[in-house]
Amino acid sequence: MIKVSHLRKEFELSRQQKKELQTTADKALAVDDLSFECQPGKVFSLLGPNGAGKTTTLRMLSTILTPTSGEIEIAGIDAIKYPQEARAKIGFLTGSTGLYARLTPLEIIDYFAALYQVPFKEKEERKKYLFDLLNMNDFLQKRIGKLSTGMKQKVSICRTMIHNPEVVIFDEPTSGLDVITAENIIQLIRDCRDQGKTVIFSSHIMSEVDLLCDELAIVHKGKLKYRGQMSDFRQNMEASNLTEEFIRIVQH
């Protein structure tokens, strides 16, 4: 489960950033008083246009960034007080994540299993399960630099799931992927939900959200614009389709 209350994140602006943004302010507000809950066995979607604060929010949930204020609870752990313990419960996957090009998939998976301190027997079982599931056995010994985008994405998925996390965070996971490769991710999100994991994923593609999510939050300029069940969203929408309804809410 993920509990977020009154989350706020300010960034100090460098001289260069001030120049680029044409502002004299010393700080920029990326996330402003965000509160929501994600339940186990459900997919929670964070929807918003580019620059809405989705990535910043998910980076705070995964403890890469420290919030300016607010509270985060990950699987019952206070993520601000005990970030390392919280990280052990999280699997994090972003569309922009790179892999170590000079290592092989097997080496990467072993490396991350060691970082998550997965016991040997459990690691071997998880590896076998994931390699078979993702059909990875043919390229386990090849260097990442020589793999196709689809193969790399499979390695990223395997890396995210090797420690069987309770909470899975996806930050625009299908961004830049072709339909067939993106399908692997969509299937992974469904599997996570079916296994009773807490899933949160960010996207700016409404069709993807429609396909997967149970609960929805729309953010714009760091503020929460809408929060509710996906079924309620569909039922109560004022525009003719989901994308237009999303645009209407953001611009409102």
In the complex, which residues of this chain contact other proteins (CB under 8 A)? 11-12, 14, 59, 62-66, 84-85, 87-88, 90, 92, 94, 96-103, 107, 111-112, 114-117, 159
Q: Could you count the other beta carbons within 10 Å of the beta carbon of residue 60? A: 25
Smallest distance, other proteins to C-beta of residue 156, A: 8
What is the Cα 54 distance to its own chain's centre?
Answer: 9
Cα–Cα distance, 125 to 223 (Å, whole number): 43
Among candidate residues 122, 190, 200, the one with its CA nearest the CA of residue 162: 122
Smallest distance, other proteins to C-beta of residue 94, A: 7
Closer by beta carbon to other proteins, 115 or else 239 = 115
Strands (DSSP E) found in 23-63: 27-38, 43-47
Closer by beta carbon to other proteins, 20 or else 244 = 20
Q: What angle, rounded to 10 degrees, do the helices at 120-133 and 105-115 form?
A: 140
Smallest distance, other proteins to C-beta of residue 234, A: 33
Closer by beta carbon to other proteins, 134 or else 216 = 134
Closer by beta carbon to other proteins, 52 or else 109 = 109
Smallest distance, other proteins to C-beta of residue 106, A: 12
Cα–Cα distance, 68 to 163 (Å, whole number): 30
Closer by beta carbon to other proteins, 14 or else 240 = 14
Smallest distance, other proteins to C-beta of residue 69, A: 15
The kind and range of the H/E element at 242 are helix 242-251
Smallest distance, other proteins to C-beta of residue 59, A: 8
Which letter does DSSP use for residue 52 in this model? Answer: S
Q: Tell me the sheet residues that pair with 5.
A: 71
Cα–Cα distance, 128 to 199 (Å, whole number): 23
Closer by beta carbon to other proteins, 12 or else 138 = 12
Angle ∠(104,110,111) on CA atoms, nearest 5: 90
Among candidate residues 180, 200, 197, 243, the one with its CA nearest the CA of residue 58: 200
Closer by beta carbon to other proteins, 169 or else 219 = 169
Smallest distance, other proteins to C-beta of residue 199, A: 16
